[in-house]
Chain A
Amino acid sequence: MKDFLCPQCGAGLKFTTSFAVSTVCEYCRSLVVRHDLDIELMGVEAILQDDLNPLQVGTRGVFQKTSFIIIGGVRLNHHEGFWNEWFLQFDTPIQNSRFGWLVQAQGECQFLFEPLELPADTAANYRVGSIVSVPEDISKKLGKWSSSLIGDTTAFKIIDMRTAKMTHFLGQLPWAPDKTRQRTIAELASTSDAKLSVEFGESKNQIYYGQILNFEDFKFQNLKEVKGW
């Protein structure tokens, strides 16, 4: 991996994977985006005050016998709260995927695989209770593990829908951070412990799939100490 230096302070930047497009300088908290060989300074990131969250960049965990490491994260805020999305790098690929997400919302941890593309549609057509149809071959696409969880169903009810803005960035991320971008995400009802959510984008919609596990099931290591606990 080519070494990049922080355009702000000159310290070495961490791009540990070719998948990462942006990173936050560990020294001066500059937000840096990589364009092929050039890097662009996006400004300085505010420190995220989250003393209660034991997860951090560098935390390792296990999902279905595959170990992963948190290499970045983003905090999203909406008018009634927030959630965190941690960017994961897998030690060995799961279903040809080397990256995934760990979503933390209201004390819950969702492990999500790299999303699959759905036919484009606008978020305005959907609300809580709407049915999202997914292509028939979705279970095949989702692979053996997840198809056993979601079965043959191709239509899912939206149980929660939120539009949020990304407010804080940590570590490496697979896209250039944009604090002005609105992201609309709908959670779908599945009847087992599978987790399905759809993100409505401008040009495409993406379906995330995975599972909710208890915090202790991830066997986390290198957790941040929560003071007093």
Chain B
Amino acid sequence: MVKAITCPSCGGPVSVKYSEQSLSCVCPSCLAILSTANESVSILLKSQQKKSKPIIELGKRYKFRGHDWEVIGYLLRSDKSETYKWSEYLLFNPYVGYRFLVCMDGHWSYVTKTKSAPKIDTVLNRATYLDKTYNLFHKGQVKTLFVLGEFYWRVKANEVVMAFDYINPPEMLSSEHDADEEIWSIGEYIPKRDVENAFKLVGLMPLDIGVAPHQPSPHNQDKKLATYTSYLVALIVLVHFGFLVAVSRRNVFEATYNIPLSTSPTITTPAFEISDRAGYIETELYSEVNNGWLETTVEAVDETTGEDYEFDQGVEYYSGYDSDGSWSEGSRNSDRRIAKLPPGKYHLNITTAWSYPSPSTFLFRVSEGNLSWGNFFFAFLLLILYPIYYFMRAKSFEKNRWSTSDYSPYWSQHDD
């Protein structure tokens, strides 16, 4: 029922649209705050300075979150020093009740009163509401600087209340305390596009600045992928070590020979067994070469079939001293992975060539059941990159979020 009253301050007409529910309203002409709860209208605050203009028009209805909402009130609020200001719009639907739409630094929240008072942990600075935990983000005094429209409570402009904000993105749990009461509300972060569409604010939206306390991390959508990739890395590690256990490396042949001094001498090794175990075969050559090289041509002969497999393997090592200090190049050791040989009995015919002066001995070793660590490391590094990248970016966003809080888990407040 619209109630028409005369402003006791300026004598102008004031219509209270939802007089059954509204306890206070603002005279549109002189901006006095009036109490309309009783039959007699009284002045709560004689005059107000017009400090801002709401960007959502009061008295209009908008559909949002499945309900029609009429914007009936507007509050401009700030911190104690009035440096940090934000807007609150009171939404009304006779069936659903009241909600607030809050705009802070261009970030929007849809706010409802909580159904009960959350449980506070003053040691850990946490609040628990309906089995969810929220971390204290901000504590401070809040002022109401300017109001327009009508309200279901007696608006106390210029009065200061103590406020606490706890966050668990995309939600913020807030309380306001004064002498009489403690009011808790829960706000949900609303993407600006949703507000822009629902409240017809195309071209009127304020720029969003910084990160809002309860803004969901933009990296949340990557979290799943990062988690799955981490699982994959763990799986690869498991599988690799599984193979390591299953395959078991074994030396099948090892011997040290004197370098034969005759020309093109060939050494024939004793026979050894190559089994059918998994993993590849590795040959290893070691020789104490110094500023020289040793080259071998190896022929692996299958003693049953007479089939032979030939390969080369060599070592070279140079070292010296110059103006930059000592240097070295090459290695006295070389590993060679060779194609899998069919199982059977083999011997090797090794022919050597060397640079002068020759090393005196060389060692030759054949092992089977080797695993490729290279492939493993390559896959591991490639896959671990993404979770690390995700983690760094997500953490940097969280640091940024908490940078405006005195309760940041990322640093002690006295650091700066």
- Do A and B pair up? The answer is yes
Q: Which residues of A contact B (CB under 8 A)?
A: 49-54, 79-82, 106-109, 128, 157, 159-160, 189-195, 211-212, 214-216, 223, 226, 229
- Report yes or no: A128 in contact with B182, Cβ–Cβ below 8 A: yes
Contact partners of B180 in chain A: CB under 8 A: 128, 160
Contact of B95 among A81, A211, A229 (CB under 8 A): A229
- Report yes or no: B117 in contact with A192, Cβ–Cβ below 8 A: no
- Report yes or no: A106 in contact with B20, Cβ–Cβ below 8 A: no
For the complex, what is the distance from the CA of A179 to the CA of B222, rounded to whole Å?
A: 63
Query: What would be 14 A-B contacts, judged by CB atoms less than 8 Å apart?
Result: A82-B37, A107-B97, A109-B97, A128-B180, A128-B181, A159-B117, A160-B181, A193-B115, A195-B115, A212-B115, A212-B116, A214-B96, A226-B94, A229-B94
- The reply on B341 being an interface residue by CB < 8 A is no
- The reply on B217 being an interface residue by CB < 8 A is no
- Report yes or no: A80 in contact with B23, Cβ–Cβ below 8 A: yes
* Candidate in B92, B130, B152, B182 with the most chain A CB atoms within 10 angstroms: B182
- Report yes or no: B94 in contact with A80, Cβ–Cβ below 8 A: no
- Report yes or no: A215 in contact with B97, Cβ–Cβ below 8 A: yes
| Interface residues in B174-202 (C-beta closer than 8 Å to A) | 179-182
For the complex, what is the distance from the CA of A49 to the CA of B92, rounded to whole Å?
A: 19
| Interface residues in B100-127 (C-beta closer than 8 Å to A) | 113, 115-119
For the complex, what is the distance from the CA of A105 to the CA of B295, rounded to whole Å?
A: 95
Bin the interface of chain B by size: 20 to 34
As a 0/1 sequence over residues 25 to 62 of chain B, the CB contacts with chain A under 8 angstroms (1 = contact) are: 00000000000010000000000000000000000000
A194 touching B96 in the complex, CB below 8 Å, given contacts A51-B20, A53-B20, A80-B154? no
User: A106-B97, A107-B152 provided; 20 other pairs, C-beta below 8 A?
Assistant: A52-B20, A52-B21, A53-B20, A54-B95, A79-B37, A106-B98, A106-B113, A107-B21, A108-B113, A128-B182, A191-B116, A192-B116, A193-B130, A194-B116, A195-B116, A211-B115, A212-B116, A215-B96, A226-B94, A229-B95
Contact of B94 among A53, A79, A82 (CB under 8 A): A53
- Report yes or no: B20 in contact with A159, Cβ–Cβ below 8 A: no
- Report yes or no: B23 in contact with A81, Cβ–Cβ below 8 A: yes
Q: Which residue of A lies closest to B97 (CB)?
A: A107
For the complex, what is the distance from the CA of A191 to the CA of B127, rounded to whole Å?
A: 10
- Report yes or no: A189 in contact with B95, Cβ–Cβ below 8 A: no
Contact partners of A53 in chain B: CB under 8 A: 20, 94
Contact partners of B129 in chain A: CB under 8 A: 191
- Report yes or no: A229 in contact with B182, Cβ–Cβ below 8 A: no
For the complex, what is the distance from the CA of A226 to the CA of B128, rounded to whole Å?
A: 37
- Report yes or no: A81 in contact with B116, Cβ–Cβ below 8 A: no
**Smallest beta-carbon distance A161→chain B, Å:** 8
Contact of B118 among A51, A191, A212, A216 (CB under 8 A): A191
Q: Which residues of B contact A (CB under 8 A)?
A: 1, 18, 20-21, 23, 37, 68, 92-98, 113, 115-119, 128-130, 152-154, 179-182
- Report yes or no: B95 in contact with A215, Cβ–Cβ below 8 A: yes
Contact partners of B93 in chain A: CB under 8 A: 229
For the complex, what is the distance from the CA of A92 to the CA of B273, rounded to whole Å?
A: 87
Nearest 5 CB-CB pairings of A with B: A107-B97, A189-B117, A212-B115, A191-B119, A193-B115
Contact partners of B115 in chain A: CB under 8 A: 108, 193, 195, 211-212
Contact partners of B128 in chain A: CB under 8 A: 191
For the complex, what is the distance from the CA of A50 to the CA of B19, rounded to whole Å?
A: 9
**Smallest beta-carbon distance A53→chain B, Å:** 7
Contact partners of B153 in chain A: CB under 8 A: 80-81, 106
- Report yes or no: A50 in contact with B20, Cβ–Cβ below 8 A: yes
Contact partners of A195 in chain B: CB under 8 A: 115-116
Contact partners of A190 in chain B: CB under 8 A: 116-117
For the complex, what is the distance from the CA of A195 to the CA of B119, rounded to whole Å?
A: 14
Q: Which residue of A lies closest to B98 (CB)?
A: A107
**Smallest beta-carbon distance B111→chain A, Å:** 13
Contact partners of B98 in chain A: CB under 8 A: 106-107
For the complex, what is the distance from the CA of A190 to the CA of B184, rounded to whole Å?
A: 12
For the complex, what is the distance from the CA of A193 to the CA of B131, rounded to whole Å?
A: 11
Contact partners of B1 in chain A: CB under 8 A: 49, 51-52
- Report yes or no: A106 in contact with B152, Cβ–Cβ below 8 A: yes
**Smallest beta-carbon distance B289→chain A, Å:** 78
**Smallest beta-carbon distance B277→chain A, Å:** 61
**Smallest beta-carbon distance A67→chain B, Å:** 19
A108 touching B117 in the complex, CB below 8 Å, given contacts A49-B20, A128-B182, A159-B182? no
Contact partners of B95 in chain A: CB under 8 A: 54, 215-216, 223, 226, 229
Q: Which residue of A lies closest to B118 (CB)?
A: A191
For the complex, what is the distance from the CA of A30 to the CA of B371, rounded to whole Å?
A: 97
Q: Which residue of A lies closest to B21 (CB)?
A: A52
**Smallest beta-carbon distance B39→chain A, Å:** 11
For the complex, what is the distance from the CA of A214 to the CA of B153, rounded to whole Å?
A: 20
For the complex, what is the distance from the CA of A88 to the CA of B79, rounded to whole Å?
A: 45
Q: Which residue of B lies closest to A106 (CB)?
A: B152
Contact partners of B182 in chain A: CB under 8 A: 128, 159-160, 189
- Report yes or no: A81 in contact with B37, Cβ–Cβ below 8 A: yes
